[in-house]
A = this chain, B = another copy of it.
Amino acid sequence: MDLFCPLPKSNYPHVLLAHGGGGTLMHQLLKRVFLPAFANDALRQNHDSAVLDLNGTRVAFTTDSYVVRPLFFPGGDIGALAVNGTVNDLAMSGARPLALSAGFILEEGLAMETLERVVGSMQSAAEAVGVPIVTGDTKVVDKGKGDGIFINTAGIGVIEHSLHINPRQIQAGDHILVNGDLGRHGIAILAVREGLEFETTIASDCAPLADCVLQLIAAGIEVHCLRDLTRGGLASALNEIAETAGLSMALNENSIPVREDVRGACELMGFDPLYVANEGRFAAFVPAAQADHALEILSAHPLGQGAALIGQVTPKAVAPVLLQSRIGATRIVDMLSGEQLPRIC
């Protein structure tokens, strides 16, 4: 992939797979169709959750649909993903998740056993984070008009601290942490989809991040922004935040944790791990003075074992995100162009 050659900025007359890929085209769709229509302050926060005031309580509200293919993969399935993904979106506002909704769009002919397995997995994931699924809906579409199971979950959470965690809070000098190695979810999906076999099974990192985040906040870390690194990977997430904040970021490739087997699989298939989707990984932006403490807290958490300091926020530079590569050169890390792996979540 040539990062210096973005797709033409022209408007497309039809929806492409890449409009759902978390990269440039998805952001064009947001900016051209959704944001102008649904103009309101909450949506313009440009964050994973909207934050609303409810009689003095700050409430986070978010939604995601899940269309991952195949439904089951090493390390997870669409049910676990639908719970953890929405829990994570709430966590990225620093909210304690309170309740989830579940909307199912089933394709006529789906095996009831498959549905039961997915629903069971959702409940296990929901129990593991202590967040009940309190309301739901089921629709069925004709055979050939769906693809087994699509799930939408929405979530509400409560913000129980005084921080305002969103992209506009980051400052030049902030340190950027991630909670572990990158790229496993995308490679796990790809491997099972394409029937690839590696020496070891690469399992998705799919996991709920709320506890990990709430521990950072409870320890007094003045978290400025959080973002889970799903569609479009680390590269797209950081570009989006940098653009919203009007700042840049300088990353150090040597510090970005990628497992050897994942790196090997990426090289084999021509992927860049910075663009591969994760489902249990997030970036945290914290004041430089608190970075070591934050890293300690993350590393002590079961979901932060491979946590690392990967770079810093800088004043606006030639591009939103710059990477000092392993050989010492500096390159621009652009937002994902086109579609790397459709239907990854």
A residues with a Cβ closer than 8 A to B are 11-21, 26, 29-30, 33-34, 37-38, 40, 42-43, 49-50, 52, 54-57, 59, 61-67, 98-99, 101-113, 115-116, 119-120, 122-123, 126, 132-142, 144-147, 150, 152, 154, 156, 158, 342-343, 345
Contact = CB atoms under 8 A, between A and B. Distances in A.
Contact of A123 (B12, B37, B67, B119): B37
Q: What copy number does this chain have within its complex?
A: 2
DSSP majority for the A interface? mixed
B152 A103 contact: yes
Given A43-B134, A106-B19, A62 B101 contact: yes
B64 A33 contact: no
A186 to B, nearest CB: 16
Contacts of A106: 15, 19-20
B154 A42 contact: no
5 contacts: A15-B108, A63-B103, A63-B152, A103-B103, A144-B144
Contacts of A62: 101, 135
B65 A137 contact: yes
Given A40-B132, A110-B14, A52 B98 contact: yes
Interface centre among A14, A26, A50 (most CB of B within 10 A): A14
A54 B57 contact: yes
A66 B140 CA distance: 10
Contacts of A122: 37-38
Contact of A15 (B20, B33, B115): B115
B17 A61 contact: no
Contacts of A142: 17, 147, 342-343
B65 A152 contact: yes
A135 B65 contact: no
Interface centre among A49, A99, A104, A137 (most CB of B within 10 A): A137
Interface centre among A17, A111, A144 (most CB of B within 10 A): A17
A219 B147 CA distance: 48
Given A15-B112, A33-B119, A52-B99, 14 more contacts: A14-B111, A15-B109, A17-B142, A20-B139, A20-B141, A38-B136, A40-B133, A43-B133, A55-B55, A61-B134, A63-B101, A63-B136, A64-B137, A141-B343
A15 B107 contact: yes
B99 A135 contact: no
A19 B116 CA distance: 14
Contacts of A29: 138
Contact of A108 (B16, B134, B138): B16
